[in-house]
């Protein structure tokens, strides 16, 4: 994933380098790459990610509301549609391979971390303008893309027998990488 070094997101990343490194090189990520992450931790993440996607769609709906530019409004609504009608379906299909179904995930309580981030994003959008909201949303979209792209080419990433290899491939794939690039365009 290549970013414009002069772009806003890259400048923000540079100014928060240590935090960004802590996020993209977290022990969870290293264990994912090694295939040693406890399966219960991955299932927890998958369930929370389902709940996160619901709030992510709400945030893009808020972005559509906040803007006065019709092109931006259309883009935000397209994101809502993509999350609700494509990404969530793909996520549910993927989760079924881990023994999680839509009903079970919808009934999960939100973890404190999920609640903190999703409410932070929504509050940024409510209190600020659409730029504030997009800045708050971008670490997730771009972070997943950057993490997966790095893991996919890292020789230390275990590919054979790694139960998380399909997750890495999914987020390192061209479709998701295009979404991540668009998020900071």
pLDDT digits (tens, 9 = 90+) for 83-128: 999 999 999 999 999 999 999 999 999 999 999 999 999 999 999 9
Tokens linked to 9: 């997101």
Tokens linked to 80: 């809502």
**The domain containing residue 88 runs over which residues?**
8-183
Kindly report the CATH number assigned to the domain that includes residue 89.
1.20.910.10
From the list 158, 157, 168, 118, the residue with the least C-alpha distance to 139 is 118
Residue 27 maps to a domain: yes
User: Rg for the chain (alpha carbons), in Å?
Assistant: 16
Neighbours of 31 (CB within 10 A): 15
Residue 147 maps to a domain: yes
Tokens linked to 101: 């179904």
Residue 98 maps to a domain: yes
Condensed to tens digits (0 to 9), the pLDDT of residues 26-76 reads: 999 999 999 999 999 999 999 999 999 999 999 999 999 999 999 999 999
Q: CA dihedral in degrees (97, 98, 101, 102; nearest 10)?
A: -100
Domain count along the chain: 1
Confidence check: pLDDT of 143 > 80: yes
Residue 2 maps to a domain: no
Residue 3 maps to a domain: no
């Amino acid at each position: 994933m290549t970013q414009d070094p002069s772009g806003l997101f890259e400048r923000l990343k540079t100014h928060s380098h240590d935090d960004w490194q802590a996020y993209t090189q977290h022990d969870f990520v290293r264990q994912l790459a090694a295939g040693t992450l406890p399966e219960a931790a991955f299932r927890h993440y998958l369930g929370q990610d389902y709940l996160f996607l619901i709030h992510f769609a709400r945030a893009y709906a808020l972005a559509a509301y906040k803007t006065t530019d019709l092109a931006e409004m259309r883009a935000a609504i397209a994101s809502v549609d993509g999350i609700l009608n494509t990404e969530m379906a793909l996520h549910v299909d993927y989760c079924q391979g881990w023994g999680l179904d839509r009903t079970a995930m919808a009934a999960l309580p939100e973890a404190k971390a999920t609640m903190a981030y999703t409410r932070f994003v929504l509050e940024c959008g409510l209190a600020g303008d659409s730029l504030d909201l997009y800045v708050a949303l971008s670490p997730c979209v771009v972070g997943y893309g950057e993490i997966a792209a790095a893991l996919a080419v890292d020789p230390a990433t275990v590919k054979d027998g790694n139960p998380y290899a399909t997750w890495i491939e999914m987020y390192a794939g061209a479709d998701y990488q295009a979404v991540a690039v668009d998020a900071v365009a």
